[in-house]
Amino acid sequence: MEVKNNIILALDLMDIIKSFELVESISKYINTIKIGYPLTLAEGLKSVTVFKENFEFNTICDYKVADIPATNEKIADLTFKAGADSIIVHGFVGKDSVAASCDVALEYGKEIFLLTEMSHPGAIQFLKGKGEKIAEMGLELGINNYVAPSTHLDRLSSIRSVLGKDKFIISPGVGTQGGNPNDTLKYADALIIGRSIYNAENPEIAIKEIIKEITV
């Protein structure tokens, strides 16, 4: 996946009109958006379709799919039917559940992102240290795309070591959560950034500042 300026916008606003205005205001700096539960639950799955139809962006649906295989299949099917290019799936649920989402992605000629470890402080409680095993499982399943945290660089770098240089890693936590763009891009291929852009007084200035800061 080619991510313009290495930035994926986390579109976590809960209003489709405001989301449109935001994306329009920064559309020349990005080509990839991540739509998650905030916008989808507020406005429906049609928000994915509407964005896909109006912007020529890669659209990653962040539904952190984490259920039994039969339910994962249904979630993935509805998501791809709505127009998503990829879906984010939790790894901790195990191989059968992840494989179920992969199979649906394959039917649509689309992809999944496998979530290894998370970026928030509470992630160290149960998930920390499991990322390598989840990454190994992803490799066994032939998965090319992964999510790993920018706020725990030791974890991100270790997960990169397991995956090797050819796998694609996207990393949340830059900005508001404390992650640094250049440190993160030593190990990740793209940054997921939300609040530092959409909560800024001027999102265009904010994204330009981040782009200017990126030197790697």
Catalytic residue numbers? 62, 64, 67
Going by the annotation, the residues of the binding site are 12, 34, 119, 194-195
Query: Are the C-beta atoms of residues 6 and 191 closer than 8 Å to each other?
Result: yes
Angle in degrees, CA 72, 118, 179, rounded to 5: 140
Beta strand 58-65 with 111-115 is unpaired
Pick from 176, 186, 205, 209 the residue near ligand O7E by CB under 6 A: 176
Residues 110-139 that bind ligand O7E (CB under 6 A): 115, 118-119
Q: Which residues carry a binding-site annotation for substrate?
A: 12, 34, 119, 194-195
Which residue sits closest to ligand O7E, CB atoms considered?
Answer: 194
Nearer to ligand O7E, 9 or 100 (CB): 9
What does each C-alpha distance from 148 to 125, 158, 203 come to in angstroms? Answer: 16, 10, 25
Residue 179 per-residue DSSP state: B
Residues numbered 77-96 forming contacts with ligand O7E, rule: CB under 6 A: 88
- Closest approach of ligand O7E to the CB of residue 164, in Å: 20
Number of residues that bind ligand O7E (CB under 6 A): 21
Among 91, 131, 138, 172, binds ligand O7E (CB under 6 A): 172
| DSSP string for 169-204 | EEEE-BSTTSB-HHHHHTT-SEEEE-HHHHTSSSHH
How near is the Cβ of 175 to ligand O7E at its closest, in Å? 5
- Residue 61 vs residues 89, 132, 165: alpha-carbon distances, Å: 9, 23, 24
Of the residues 36, 131, 138, 203, which one makes contact with ligand O7E according to CB under 6 A? 36
Residues 185-214 that bind ligand O7E (CB under 6 A): 192-196
Q: Which residues 12-31 are close enough to bind ligand O7E by CB under 6 A?
A: 12
- 153 and 127 in contact (C-beta within 8 Å)? no
Task: Provide the 10 A C-beta neighbour count for residue 185.
Answer: 18
Greatest alpha-carbon span in the chain: 45
> Could you tell me the smallest distance in angstroms from the CB atom of residue 9 to ligand O7E?
9
Which amino acid is present at 186? Answer: K
Binding site for ligand O7E (CB under 6 A): 10, 12, 36, 62, 64, 88, 115, 118-119, 147, 149, 172-173, 175-177, 192-196
